[in-house]
Amino acid sequence: MHFQIIENIIYTNMKKRLSVLITLAAACVIFASCEILKSTADQISGLANLANCEYSLKNVSNLTIAGVNVKSLTNGKVSASDVINLSAALLNKKVPMSMDVNIDIKNPTEKNAALTAMDWILDIDGSQFAQGNSTKNYTITKQATTSVPLGVNTDLYSMFSKNGIESLKNFIGSFKNDGTSSKVGLRIKPSLNVGGVAVPMPNYINVEKKTGGSKS
């Protein structure tokens, strides 16, 4: 009889503890679900803010073609030593071009926007030439303009393999002091990670320099 009473007491206490544990577990699940929903909602809001941003070209820095520092040239004129380097690159069938395209992103909204990736397309003489992507994360501050560098790398050999060194020299000479060229265009497609999935803008955006902007 005494053993039965003890067993009943133990059983009752176990039921109470189990009930408490189940309640705590349910609360944790609900809390975690709310946190996930809130995080996803914030990400969706950030995507909307990203879509409302304005994108423009600030300048181009660190521009090199086959090892030639294009911005260091005087009036776009290629020196004799540079011609040797460029000719050697053509002979080796590798004419690498590397540059940082600095993009101004203006956020007119009242909330920060998040940028987690950016696809890009490089156009030369109006035709698509190369494409790539960047996966660096940036916060686009509310009511402000944030400058984001986009690294663009490609190889120009296929474009200049037929016309040779003169066409390559003319191309290099088309670049201005700010690193831009009327022969080169860039299109971007920003995206944001929402719930672990990359969600890009629906269309590519032409990045152009604003008229009357400051030169660098």
pLDDT tens digits, 178-208: 889 999 999 999 988 776 777 888 889 999 9
Confidence (pLDDT) at 42: 57
Contact yes or no for 138/103 (Cβ under 8 A): no
For residue 107, the tally of other CB atoms under 10 A from its CB is: 21
Contact 91, 36 (CB under 8 A): no
Task: Render pLDDT for 70-108 as a digit per residue (tens, 0 to 9).
Answer: 988 867 788 888 999 999 999 999 999 999 999 999 999
Instruction: Say whether pLDDT at 212 is over 70.
Output: no
Instruction: Quote the crossing angle between the two packed helices 164-173 and 80-91, to the nearest 10°.
Output: 120
> Which one, of 161, 17, 177, lies nearest residue 95 by Cα?
161
Nearest to 128 by CA among 210, 208, 204, 191: 204
- As a whole-number percent, the residues of the chain with pLDDT over 70 amount to 74
- The model carries a pTM of 0.73
Decide if pLDDT at 13 tops 60. no
Weakest mean pLDDT among 9-18, 110-119, 181-190: 9-18
Q: Which domains does the chain possess?
A: 48-207 (2.60.40.10)
- Predicted confidence at residue 24, as pLDDT, reads 47
Looking at residue 50, what is its pLDDT?
80
